[in-house]
Amino acid sequence: MSKLPESLTKRYYSISEVAGMFGVTTSLVRYWEQQFDFLKPYKSSKGERRFTPDNLHQFEEIYHLVKEQGYTLAGAKRFLKEEKEKIRQKQDALKTLKRLRGFLEDLKING
């Protein structure tokens, strides 16, 4: 079940807003930011973290794995890395199939 509001209307959210959405402390948000290299909020000139809606979805994914599914941080990192690799493999397969389709269509038209 999503912890995020139905629609994310703001461009940036503060660390306290993120912590409030998920019912966690701001120190946990900072810790997870250090642990998951893909979770990189924008930082203002004052060093204040500003989370985009994409960052919130990334944080939600981590929250789901760690807090709801019981993964360790290492397990969550491994899971997310494997999922990223699976997505890349699917994209590569789709590209290959599209090239093959184009080749077969050319054969049909010219053959």
Strands (DSSP E) contained in 1-111 are: 13-14, 42-43, 49-51
Label residue 5 by pLDDT band (50, 70, 90): low
Residue 33 has pLDDT above 80, yes or no: yes
Task: Tell me the C-alpha to C-alpha distance, in Å, between residue 75 and each of 49, 79, 82, 87.
Answer: 26, 6, 10, 18
Query: Which pLDDT tens digit goes with each residue over 51-84?
Result: 999 999 999 999 999 999 999 999 999 998 888 7
Flag whether the pTM goes above 0.75: no
Domains of the chain: 13-110 (1.10.1660.10)
